[in-house]
Each structure stands twice: as C-alpha cells, then as structure tokens.
C-alpha cells in the first residue's frame, strides 16, 4: 500500500464505518456561477497560469488533481466563481470534513485555517513542471491537514491568510480578476483515482470539493496560490453507532478500501 493510498484511505474508511448509521453521500452545495475569465491557457508552467492542476495539453504536474476539460477555459469548466461552499447538517447528524493540501505557486507563505486544526502554512510547494519549494509529505503529491467536525447550524468556516490579507468561506467570493483576492471552487470525483491516479474536477455534485486561491498579486489570476481538497461525510446517529473515537482512530491510521484501490491500480499498471 503506497503512502498516498494510505492517507487517502481516511475518507473511504470513515464512510465504511458510518454506513450502518445512514449517510448522505452528497452534502455539499457550491453556490456561484461558472468561471468566466482567466489566463489563456488556464493551465501551464508560466507564472500567470495555474501550475498545480493537471490538464490535457498542459505540462504535467505532480498534483493529484486533474481538470479534464483542457488547458483553455471553456463552457465545460468545472470551476465556480462568486461562490461559497455550504454544508447541510441535519439535527441528528455530524459532518466530518477531512482537509488536504495539494500544492501552491504563491511565492508567499499562505496559511490555511479551519476549526479544530492547527494552522498550516505552505512553503511554496510547487507541483509544477519546474522546481518549487519543499515537497509535500505524501509522495510529493498531497498532505493531510486534519479534520473539522460540524453540528447542525454550524457554517463551514475556513480561511487563507497571507501578509495583511485574507479570504474566507464565510461570504460569497469576489469576481475573479487580476488584483482581487478570491477563491474558486469545484466538485471532485474521487472514483477516478483507482484507474488514473487522479482526483478529477467535475461539475457533478459529490462529497469532495476543491478550493483554489488567487492572492490578487500582480498579473497573477490563475488560482494556484494555494490549492486544497476536502471530503465531507454526514454521519447520522443511531442506537448503535460506531464511536467517533473509533472512527478517528481508523481515520488517522489510513486503513481502508482506498489503500486497496491504490494497490490494485499499481498491480493493473504493472500487468
């Protein structure tokens, strides 16, 4: 089992442990509208292009994320601007959000902050085709940041901070443009990981989402200053639930179906 398969086993493991209690598979809503403008091409190795996300026709990166719609922004883009991520939590439910860092090309020290987590400051861990900062912890592709737990009425509250500036998910994001700091959002399809090794950006609602920061600096409007990935699981209580501490134990241990998926994918490639 690879280290990256182990770390991504967390979400699948929590799902497996919670199915007996009832699970809402798609608790995420991303408000907003499709991204209307950006660098052309959107993905590439130039400073003004997104250096983290993989896309057909663009230089490959070491990121785990893939936008299959191509390097040029078009009507199929999965990215949503002027948006906000909302999590619906019922009265008898608990939402568990697992956070991952997938790369950055900021040239700054951007800090990620969310309830229940220690602050995480990236070091320009560039997943681009050219050299960047220190590699990510897990095979240079992804880094686990921890998890946040929400109850009914809690808002999904996370923010990114750098210098004297910041953005957060408490309000709808400003329109993406050069000189304006904002976040873009997209749903993510984890089912593609087994066969391709990538988590795929999609318009279709799932229980995974991607967030990407534009810090508003200079000609930079590519939303690669901090790129993160999150999984959301809604767990419904019942008379014999799996204890949350037990869930956390397996969560942190990285055991579960995803590890087997990573192992199986490598076996298939070797064959």
194-216 confidence digits (pLDDT tens): 899 999 999 999 999 999 999 88
Q: Is the pLDDT of residue 63 over 60?
A: yes
* Distance separating alpha carbons of residues 27 and 131, to the nearest angstrom: 37
Per-residue confidence (pLDDT) for residue 26, from 0 to 100: 66
Burial classification of residue 47, based on how many CB atoms lie within 10 Å of its CB (0-12 exposed, 13-18 middle, 19 or more buried): middle
Per-residue confidence (pLDDT) for residue 47, from 0 to 100: 85
- Token pair for 187: 């749903």
73-96 confidence digits (pLDDT tens): 899 999 999 999 999 888 888 999
Per-residue confidence (pLDDT) for residue 9, from 0 to 100: 56
* Distance separating alpha carbons of residues 124 and 110, to the nearest angstrom: 8
Q: Is the pLDDT of residue 62 over 70?
A: yes
> Are 112 and 119 contacting, i.e. CB atoms less than 8 angstroms apart?
yes
pLDDT band for position 28 (50/70/90)? very high
Domain count, the chain: 1
Q: Is the pLDDT of residue 248 over 70?
A: no
Per-residue confidence (pLDDT) for residue 3, from 0 to 100: 59
Residue/partner pairs of 38-41 with CB below 8 Å, 24 or more apart? 38/73, 38/176, 38/221, 38/222, 38/223, 39/221, 39/222, 40/72, 40/73, 41/71, 41/72, 41/73
- Distance of CA 5 to CAs 10, 42, 141, 225, 232, Å? 9, 29, 11, 25, 18
Supply the range of the domain harboring residue 205. Answer: 3-270
């Amino acid at each position: 089992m690879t280290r990256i398969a182990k770390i991504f086993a967390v979400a699948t493991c929590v799902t497996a442990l919670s199915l007996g209690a009832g699970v809402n598979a798609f608790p995420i809503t991303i408000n907003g509208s499709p991204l209307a403008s950006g660098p052309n091409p959107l993905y590439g190795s130039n400073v003004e292009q997104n250096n983290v996300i993989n896309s057909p026709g663009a230089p490959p990166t070491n990121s785990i994320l893939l936008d299959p719609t191509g390097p040029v922004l078009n009507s199929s883009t999965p990215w949503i601007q002027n948006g906000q991520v909302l999590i619906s939590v019922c009265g008898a439910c608990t939402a568990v959000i697992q956070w991952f860092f997938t790369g950055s090309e900021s040239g700054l020290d951007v800090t990620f902050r969310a309830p229940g987590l220690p602050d995480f400051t990236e070091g320009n861990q560039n997943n681009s085709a050219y050299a960047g900062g220190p590699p990510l912890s897990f095979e240079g592709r992804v880094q686990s940041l921890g998890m946040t737990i929400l109850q009914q009425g809690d808002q999904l509250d996370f923010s990114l901070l750098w210098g004297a500036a910041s953005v957060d998910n408490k309000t709808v994001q400003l329109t993406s443009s050069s000189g304006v700091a904002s976040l873009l959002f997209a749903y993510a399809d984890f089912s593609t990981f087994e066969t391709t090794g990538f988590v795929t950006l999609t318009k279709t609602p799932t229980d995974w989402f991607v967030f990407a920061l534009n810090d508003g600096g200079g000609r930079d409007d590519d939303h690669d200053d901090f790129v993160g990935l999150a999984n959301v699981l809604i767990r419904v209580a019942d008379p014999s639930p799996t204890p949350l501490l037990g869930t956390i134990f397996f969560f942190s241990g990285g055991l579960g179906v995803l590890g087997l998926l990573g192992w199986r994918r490598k076996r298939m490639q070797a064959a």
